[in-house]
Structure 1
């Protein structure tokens, strides 16, 4: 009996079709020489063993959303700018595929969070790999966000918004709002206010088994919810509940890629800028 072929599904940034075409061709040629099949932008990923994301971190997040709870490992090829999730350079495609085929890689489980609503429903996917942000809709006034953790009152945020971040998303919108960097697999979530009115309000790190409940008041009587950047407008009477999802996203990491070295390389972590 012949051995089953490995199947790689390629998911690309649709805004860069011309640019990624050459890389898709390289992937097809290289994997074809190793008796593996390639699916280009499949309708679903049910038959895939791996997903290759071609683009930046935004493309990676969309690929993760498409994979959902299927537990298919994702590898990100960076064609954007920073590329924290998509950390493989285009020049490293063939070398990376060889290491994957040889089993010379690790799979990291990354926490996903989900949002439930009591009131107006969410139209898109309620799951986020990076973060869920509650934001004011108008440009003039703040919103009030009354928060509870596991039923206990936390604080009434007066701010432009609130970011609930996973460790994966801690280096994204959370970090730009003064939140801490959280190491993956640390079992934590971070709640970070956006432009808080009070100087006494700071980011807080909680256990990822916690359930976060939010009630929003706004002069415009509505607000925005951004789930990994996918925005929807909700009525202020809508109550939100945010918690850990029942599945993780599996991310392929080569054994020579380390989290702290990525911080040094991508974010100039610890660099002496005085020189």
Structure 2
């Protein structure tokens, strides 16, 4: 078995559990490879050397990819595995950790789960984006959300939205979020959107600070195609795919549709969507006691 690692620099307090995790895998005969830019940091912390990789991973290179960081780090793993659909396990050294939901005190349990292939695979859908006059290349996808947002102005923008060529609405707002079920607990939730279960095959249109307070989030089937254009007092607007932002000229057509590939997230056997919601959002907790 071969396991790839990608991550961001982490605090010294996480060094020991991460070292335990890697050493346990190596003791069981697992080969370790580390993303090139992360390897320099990890080698310094672990006082060890690793084989490295760069760019997208092939199935022949790794069986699994481990993300060390927060949810943003895990989102950054998608370009590495998109073609191969290599499953990803997220160890949380960040903050909330909806996707990177393995706490550092469970690293040995997670290592055993990988070695014995004793885990649940959670298939997550993505969105694919095309922009008139802008080449996005191979990074034209989003696991959490696609958002359109005003740029360099305090004024609203107007986002004209069509579903399969049927007019939906012109949103007068600071922006609009097109969220997957995975992203429904992220930016969309903070703007009043609903929580949507993974696998429900829906997406959510959530306006950002709409001028008309009667405009509410809208849930639509993910299989449909959205077409959007935006205009405002500025000559351009921001288009964001997860953490990647682009400047787009006003009235350029933006097309959002289901991606041709999915993302495989590893959950331990005692984890599921509802346990994550309860733990991260403190559902069922009475703070008065």
Contact 1:12-1:20 at 8 Å conserved across structures: no
Q: Match of 2:237, SS?
A: strand
Cα distance, 1:237 vs. partner?
Answer: 3.0
* Cα pair distance change 1:58/1:174, threshold 3 Å: same
Matched, 1:43 2:54: yes
Please report the TM-score for the alignment, with normalisation by the length of structure 2: 0.89
Deviations 1:52-102 (A, max 9, x none): 000000000001232223110000000011000000011211111102222
1:16 to 10, 15, 23: 10
- Distance (Å, rounded) in 1 between the aligned partners of 2:266 and 2:186: 20
Cα distance, 1:49 vs. partner?
Answer: 0.5
Cα distance, 1:108 vs. partner?
Answer: 1.0
Cα distance, 1:238 vs. partner?
Answer: 1.4
1:119 to 122, 133, 145: 133
Deviations 1:117-168 (A, max 9, x none): 1223336711110001100002310000000001100000000000000000
**Residue 77 (structure 2) aligns with:** 63
Counterpart mapping for 1:91-240 below 5 A: 91-122=105-136, 125-240=139-254
Contact 2:14-2:104 at 8 Å conserved across structures: no
User: Would you say how many aligned residue pairs link Structure 1 and Structure 2?
Assistant: 269
- Distance (Å, rounded) in 1 between the aligned partners of 2:96 and 2:108: 21
Cα distance, 1:20 vs. partner?
Answer: 5.8
Contact 1:224-1:232 at 8 Å conserved across structures: yes
Runs of 4 or more, structure 1, over 4 Å off, are 17-24
- Distance (Å, rounded) in 2 between the aligned partners of 1:254 and 1:202: 36
Matched, 1:262 2:276: yes
- Distance (Å, rounded) in 1 between the aligned partners of 2:117 and 2:176: 41
Contact 1:120-1:235 at 8 Å conserved across structures: no
Please report the TM-score for the alignment, with normalisation by the length of structure 1: 0.93
Consecutive unaligned residues in structure 2, runs of 5 or more: 36-52
Q: CA RMSD in A?
A: 1.7
Contact 1:69-1:248 at 8 Å conserved across structures: no
- Distance (Å, rounded) in 2 between the aligned partners of 1:72 and 1:37: 16
- Distance (Å, rounded) in 2 between the aligned partners of 1:233 and 1:102: 46
Q: Match of 2:125, SS?
A: strand
Contact 1:134-1:226 at 8 Å conserved across structures: yes
Consecutive unaligned residues in structure 1, runs of 5 or more: 1-5
